C-alpha cells in the first residue's frame, strides 16, 4: 500500500534529520540562542548569534525536498 510506505519513509526521514537545523546567515554559526523578548507577541522568536551578534527571526532549514517549491 502506498500510504503505509509513505508513512515509513516519513518517520525514517524524521529519524535521520533533526527537525531544527538553524544557522546564522552571517557567519554560519549553528549554535544560535533563541531569545524570548517582550516582542514575542509580535514575532514568533528571535535568534541571537553570540559570535557575530546577529539578531533576527531567521529559520534556515536545510531540507532537500523544499528545493522544488
Ligand atoms: Zn553569526
In this prediction the pTM is 0.46
User: What is the pLDDT confidence band of residue 6, given thresholds at 50, 70 and 90?
Assistant: confident
How many Å lie between the centroid of ligand 1 and the Cα of residue 52? 4
User: How close is the Cα of 65 to the center of ligand 1, in Å?
Assistant: 26
**Given pLDDT bands bounded at 50, 70 and 90, which one contains residue 20?**
low
- pLDDT tens by residue, 27-63: 999 888 877 655 555 556 678 899 999 888 765 555 5
**Residues at Cβ < 5 Å from ligand 1 ion:** 24, 26-27, 29, 49, 51-52, 54
Residue 48 CA to ligand 1 centre (angstroms) = 8
Q: Where are the domains of the chain?
A: 19-67
Quick count: other Cβ atoms within 10 Å of Cβ 63?
10
Residue-level pLDDT at 27: 93
pLDDT of residue 56: 83
DSSP state letters, 1-66: -HHHHHHHHHHHHHHHS-S-----TTT--S--EEE--GGGGTSS-EEE-TTT--EE-------GGG
Amino acid at each position: 500500500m502506498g500510504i503505509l510506505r509513505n508513512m515509513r519513509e516519513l518517520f525514517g526521514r524524521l529519524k535521520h534529520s533533526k527537525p531544527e537545523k538553524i544557522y546564522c546567515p552571517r557567519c554560519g554559526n549553528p549554535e544560535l540562542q533563541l531569545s524570548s523578548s517582550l516582542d514575542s507577541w509580535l514575532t514568533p522568536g528571535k535568534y541571537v548569534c553570540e559570535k557575530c551578534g546577529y539578531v533576527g527571526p531567521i529559520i534556515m532549514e536545510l531540507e532537500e525536498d523544499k528545493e522544488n517549491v
